[in-house]
Amino acid sequence: MAARHFLKFSALQADEARRIVARAIELKTARPEHRPLLGRTLAMIFAKSSTRTRVSFEVGMSKLGGHALMLATAQTQLGREEPLSDTAKVLSRMCDAIMIRNDSQADQEELAHHSRVPVINGLSELHHPCQLLADVQTWFEHRGDPRGKVAVWVGDGNNVCNSWIEAAKLFGFTLRAATPHQYRPAAEVLKFAGKSVELIDDPAKAAAGADLVVTDTWTSMGREAERAERMQILAPFQVNRKLMSLAAKDAIFMHCLPAHREEEVTAEVIDGPQSVVFDEAENRLWAQMALLEFLLVP
């Protein structure tokens, strides 16, 4: 049977996504002897920096009884132009799953095509699906089922924004995206989400009455050369106290981290009472453990 991959959030059916999130919450209280991945290995290919993704996958594998291998691209033969297809074939003969973080969704798809074992997207230029498992879990834990609610994305229509939009469709909430026209979310993602996503130019209008406000860095990894231009274009899209005051009274604030205080979000908001960013970061661990179980334990 072909391996099941997780390269974007929409690779899941709605009921599967709900099951994984529910399991993630349950795993927080699992007994330490729950070790379904005993003797199994996850290869983690990183072409870009990471704190949360690396640590959460490594700790998660270890908690489930398995092992994770850190493969920094530059230190592997991938960094010396060994084809991805050969790498996929070799890793799938020794490892039970592969996680990859790079700047090419197309390359991740190629890797998956040649892999006998599940391939997980740990971030690409287009998607960050593991982040959304943790984010939806966090929303459930703080405010219950997000079905019928409204989240507002303010800022760059980037990889994390695309995954939020796909999650909106699967979990039945509305995602209002307030982004400059230069940095809109991906067209294919907007098409997938249909009426679950609304593009609203004015961040104040988008934030009105929202249940959740979320943003991310204005300069994603790999876009550093555009930083000055982005700072200027995105300046009106900062999440600050004034913007938060337009959202629902009990609205929560999310950010996948790493954050840049006084750029996309003020310190007052990210370090304030509505912020749940550290629960969100911790949930990367539980959500990915649930994902690994879903992909690897029949």
Q: Which residues bind ligand CP (CB under 6 A)?
A: 50-53, 123, 131, 256-257
User: What is the secondary structure of 180-239 as a DSSP string?
Assistant: -GGGPPPHHHHHHHGGGEEE-S-HHHHHTT-SEEEE--SS-TT-GGGHHHHHHHHGGG-B
User: Residue with structure tokens 């920094």?
Assistant: 72
Which CB sits closer to ligand CP, 24 or 123? Answer: 123
Residue 284 CA to residue 129 CA, distance in Å, equals 11
Q: Do the bridges between strand 119-121 and strand 150-154 make them parallel or antiparallel, or are there none, so unpaired?
A: unpaired
Assess 124 for contact with ligand NVA (CB under 6 A).
no
User: What is the secondary structure of 225-283 as a DSSP string?
Assistant: GGHHHHHHHHGGG-B-HHHHTTS-TT-EEEE-S---BTTTB-HHHHTSTTB-HHHHHHH
Let me know if 128 is a catalytic residue: yes
Query: Any idea what the Cα angle at residue 32 is, between residues 18 and 279, rounded to 5°?
Result: 50
Which CB sits closer to ligand NVA, 134 or 210? Answer: 134
Let me know if 256 is a catalytic residue: yes
162 binds, among ligand NVA, ligand CP, none (CB under 5 to 8 A by kind): none
Let me know if 35 is a catalytic residue: no
216 binds, among ligand NVA, ligand CP, none (CB under 5 to 8 A by kind): ligand NVA
Which element (helix H / strand E) includes 53?
Answer: helix 52-63
* Given the residues 23, 216, 238, 255, the one annotated as active site: 216
Contacts with ligand NVA, 238-277, as mask; x by CB under 6 A: ------------------x---------------------
Which CB sits closer to ligand CP, 174 or 217? Answer: 217
* Given the residues 23, 52, 255, 284, the one annotated as active site: 284
Which CB sits closer to ligand CP, 123 or 212? Answer: 123
CB of 15 vs ligand NVA, minimal distance in Å? 27
158 binds, among ligand CP, ligand NVA, none (CB under 5 to 8 A by kind): ligand NVA
What phi and psi values does residue 97 have, to the nearest 5 degrees?
-160, 160
- Binding-site ranges for ligand NVA (CB under 6 A): 123, 158-160, 216-217, 220-221, 256
